Amino acid sequence: MTPKENLLADAIAYFAAYGIGDASLRSIATGLGTSHRMLIYHFGSREGLLAEVVRTVEAQQRASLAMLADDGLPMAERSMRLWHSVAEAALSYGHLFFELSAHAMQGRPYTAGLKGDLIDVWLPPLTDLCVRGGIDPAEAPAYARLSLAATRGLLFDLLLTGDRAGVDDAIALLHRLFLESLHSG
């Protein structure tokens, strides 16, 4: 890995463990065992680093989705595998995701590029997955958006309550409802 990739990986782990809060670039650099000048060199600013962290974690999750989309499994099993992968990642990175999502909702300048990355880039592959699972292409975008929103809501629930069994039951119910709608339509 390049020095920048190493710093990014370290930053992802650091923020997952400690959050962002109001940490200065200097304190982040100290936590990463580097200098603030190296972070500026590679990321431009604290905000540039934060945006790159979220983009990277989100890209990793979309890569997981792409791998599952091509595995040939039935939709129900594929969906549950994706859920388990996302839920496990959320236990490590979910706090960071929701913190930076809140920053994007507040319109913080460094998150301008994240707004599209948090929703828009997810909808096409999820829509495609829905169509491949048998959902009417005209309805697939709505199913994709509902799936994304419900999944994120359940991840939020998991991080707040720690009730893995409860959120697993809820996502299983959502998957059953999707499948039932396929068979009734």
Q: Quick one: average pLDDT of 38-65? A: 85
Q: Residue 34 — pLDDT band, cuts 50, 70, 90?
A: very high
- More confident position, 15 or 148: 148
- Domain assignment present for residue 27? The answer is no
Q: What is the dihedral of CA 52, 24, 158, 80, to 10 degrees?
A: 10
**Tell me, what CATH number does 109's domain have?**
1.10.357
Q: Look up the domain containing 146 and give its range.
A: 53-184
- Domain assignment present for residue 1? The answer is no
Given this model, what pLDDT does residue 69 score? 63
Instruction: Give how many domains the chain has, as a whole number.
Output: 1
Q: Quick one: average pLDDT of 36-41? A: 95
**What's the pLDDT tens digit per position in 79-99?**
788 888 889 888 878 887 888
Amino acid letter for position 134: G
DSSP state of 20: -
Q: In the structure encoding, which two tokens stand for residue 114, read together? A: 């994240």
- Domain assignment present for residue 98? The answer is yes
- Domain assignment present for residue 47? The answer is no
- Domain assignment present for residue 38? The answer is no
**Distance of alpha carbon 59 from the chain centroid:** 8
- Domain assignment present for residue 67? The answer is yes
Q: Residue 68 — pLDDT band, cuts 50, 70, 90?
A: low
CA 31/CA 10 separation, integer angstroms: 9
CA 165/CA 76 separation, integer angstroms: 18
- Domain assignment present for residue 44? The answer is no
Q: Residue 17 — pLDDT band, cuts 50, 70, 90?
A: confident
From the list 57, 79, 42, the residue with the least C-alpha distance to 172 is 79
pTM: 0.80
- More confident position, 107 or 154: 154
CB 47 within 8 A of CB 107: no
Given this model, what pLDDT does residue 86 score? 86
- Domain assignment present for residue 33? The answer is no
